[in-house]
Structure formats: C-alpha cells, structure tokens
Amino acid sequence: MHDRDAVFSELRATLVELFELDPERITPEARLYDELEIDSIDAIDLMDRLRRQTGRKIDSDRFRSVRTVSDLVDTIHQLLNET
Amino acid sequence: MVPPVRTAARPFRDLYYVRLVTTGLSFLLFGLGGVLLGIVVVPLLLVVPGGGAARRTRIRRMIQLAFRFFVGFAHHSGAISFSFAGAERLGRPGQLIVANHPSLMDIVLLIAFTRDACCVVKREAWRNPAMVISVSAAGYVPNAPTDLMIERAAAVLSAGECLIMFPEGTRTVLHRAMHFHRGAASVALRAARVVTPVFICVEPPSLTKAMPWYQLPVPRAHFALRVGHDIDPVAFRNGPLPIASRALNERLAATYAAEGAGNY
C-alpha cells in the first residue's frame, strides 16, 4: 500500500530534479502545463523517469487527462496500488 | 490563373508559360511516379528474398533514385533550379539531419541526396493508399503520437541509421519567426551520434503552404540547400533531459536565426 502523501513528496522531488523547479511552486493545485511549463515532450521524459522509479509500464493514455499535480499524484497512486 | 506582374517595358518573365508546362509535368511525374512506386515497385521489392534490413535499404535506395530522377527532371526541364552544398556529409550512421521547412520540395531534395535515410513523416501518409506501402516498407517513422514518435526515432538512430526531421513540424509560414518543437532535440539527446543542420532557402518563395502550384514566381524558384556544421549532442547530455533538450533546441533555433532562416 502506498500512501498518497509519500507519492506527492517523491513526485515533487522528481519534478524539482528534472525541471529545476522551485519546490514552493509544486502545490497539488498547480497546473502542469500553464503554471509549471511542463509540455508534452516533458511529459514523455517524466513518464520515462516514473517508469524507472516505479518499475511499472505507464500507459501514455492515462496521462492525457492529467492537468494538475494532484491529478498526476492520483494517477501514480492508482498505478502503484494496482496488482 | 494569375499572370506575373509586369514591371518593365519588356517584362522579364523567365519563360513563364514554358515553366507552367514543365511545372505541371513535374507534378504529374511526381504523382504518377509516386503511385507506380507505391503500388508496383515497392511491393515487388518486398517479395525479393533477403532479410528485413537489406530489403529496407533496397527500398530506401529505390525511393532515393526515384526522387533523384524527379529532381533532375524538375531541374533540367527548367521548372526549378537548385544547389546543394555539402550533401556528401549527409547519410552518416546515427546522424540526425534537421532542416527548416519552407517548401514541398525540402524532403524530396533531402532524400534524393542522403544515402539510406529514414525520416519522420506526417502520419497522414499511412492513410494514403498510394503511400502507405512505401512509407511502411522504408521503415519511416510517423510523426504522431509524439511519445511513440520519439521512441521510434531514437530507436532508428540507436540502430545506426540516419534520420531526417523537420523540427518545425510543418512547412514554415513565411515571414514569421520559426518555431522549433523540442521533439527533434529530445530525439537527438536520446540517441543521435551527431546532429547536422541543413539550411534551406527558396528564392523567390515557391511551393509554400500559402501558394497554389500554378502561381509561379518570377524569376524561377531556386532551392539553395547548404549543410551546416555538425553539432555534438554529447555536450548537452550532462543534465536532466527536459533541461538539456531546451538548451539544444535553443542552440538549434539560434543556429537558424544566425542564418536568417525563416525570413525567406
């Protein structure tokens, strides 16, 4: 069982490292594209990274509906708790 | 049909009506040649015995020869003129060739002068009955969806093939600043051994997105292609990919800005 808060803090660390973002800006409500300037190409890099971190194959379709950091946390959280 | 503007007492029109005929013939040749290639020649090459890679190389060679013939026809019939400086530096293993995209002829000229080239092609080609067999058999990469395109394009380069991409994605809109998508930079960082820019200048503008084919420029269009200095992607590989691909993309954009590309 993975805890949602743990997923958030790990994701925050990943975003900071990959995109050199200020950790303060990464709030659950922050919109990935408009506020954090993470575009579709970045999303691919991010997915690669998450794939390595979680060891799970991530289907890109699941990411199309992701808008905010919180959406992303939910997606990863769901993924980790799938059997 | 729009006649050219008369500017002098005895107007210089550079054989306008002759070119109209040869331009029409060039289009006809390209269309018929494409269909012949796509539904006869390539399918025949597909049944020639030989392994996958050898077969693919043979098909790319055939497409290259067909394009070379077409470019020769368009050039010698006077429909267009062109020059290509540094073409011998194209077609190296693991080389990513990037180019600006002012006209319909760009990919034709690049393929005609690059040995065993793979290229990223718009995915509509896979829905065109005359093209689908050629683009699949040649192992070309569809440009969408982006994540799959990036994976496939990187695999092509990793396998030591040479790949052609237009970072602008679509044909350049005249007199508007060029916008490079980061896809090409991302592909380069993942797998290219070397990135080689090609600068394409069409003067006067011809076969652009906004012009019908029969609206001929005066004088005739000259396509000048020049191969630029290699860019070593290794220099950009020292950080996380998103940061690195932005840096490489900016470098590419600056290289083209320095050439004055985008203002043609």
**DSSP letter string over B117-161?**
EEEEE-GGGGG-TTTHHHHHHTT-EE--SHHHHHHHHHHHHHTT-
Interacting residues of B257 by C-beta distance below 8 A, sequence separation 6+: B178
The pLDDT assigned to B5 comes to 59
Residue reference for tokens 């799959």 = B148
* DSSP code of residue B169: S
In CATH, the number for domain B16-259 is: 3.40.1130
Distance CA A2, CA A80 (A): 7
Cβ-defined contact of B245 to A17 (cutoff 8 Å)? no
The pLDDT assigned to B206 comes to 79
The pLDDT assigned to B216 comes to 87
The pLDDT-based confidence of A3 (bands split at 50, 70, 90) is confident
The pLDDT assigned to B259 comes to 86
Enclosing domain of residue A10: 4-80
Say which residue, A54 or B228, is predicted with more confidence: B228
- Rounded to two decimals, what is the model's pTM? 0.88
Q: Are A1 and A81 in contact (CB under 8 A)?
A: yes
Among B18, B115, B103, B14, which residue's Cα sits nearest to residue B64? B115
The pLDDT-based confidence of A83 (bands split at 50, 70, 90) is low
CATH of the domain at A65: 1.10.1200.10
What is the residue extent of each domain of chain B? 16-259
The pLDDT assigned to B174 comes to 61
Give chain B's residues under pLDDT 50. 262-264
Say which residue, A83 or B107, is predicted with more confidence: B107
- The count of residues in chain B is 264
* DSSP code of residue B39: I
- Chain A interface, best mutation among B143, B148, B180, B182, by max A CB count within 10 A: B182
What is the total count of domains within chain A?
1
Q: Does residue A58 belong to the interface with chain B, where contact is any CB pair within 8 Å?
A: no
pLDDT score of A39 more than 90: no
Backbone angles phi, psi at B205, to 5 degrees: -55, 135
The pLDDT assigned to B36 comes to 95
- Chain B from 222 to 241: CB within 8 A of any A CB: 240-241
The pLDDT assigned to A61 comes to 77
Distance CA B133, CA B248 (A): 34
pLDDT score of A43 more than 80: yes
Angle at B87 between CA B67 and CA B97, to 5 degrees: 85
Q: What is the pLDDT of residues B139-161, one digit of tens each?
A: 999 998 888 899 999 999 999 99
Distance CA B167, CA B183 (A): 7
Q: DSSP string covering A17-56, please?
A: HHH---GGG--TT-BTTTTT---HHHHHHHHHHHHHHH-S
Q: How many CA atoms lie within 13 A of B174 on its CB side?
A: 13
Q: What is the pLDDT of residues B162-178, one digit of tens each?
A: 999 999 877 766 656 67
The pLDDT assigned to B262 comes to 47
- Chain A from 9 to 28: CB within 8 A of any B CB: 17-20
The pLDDT assigned to B7 comes to 54
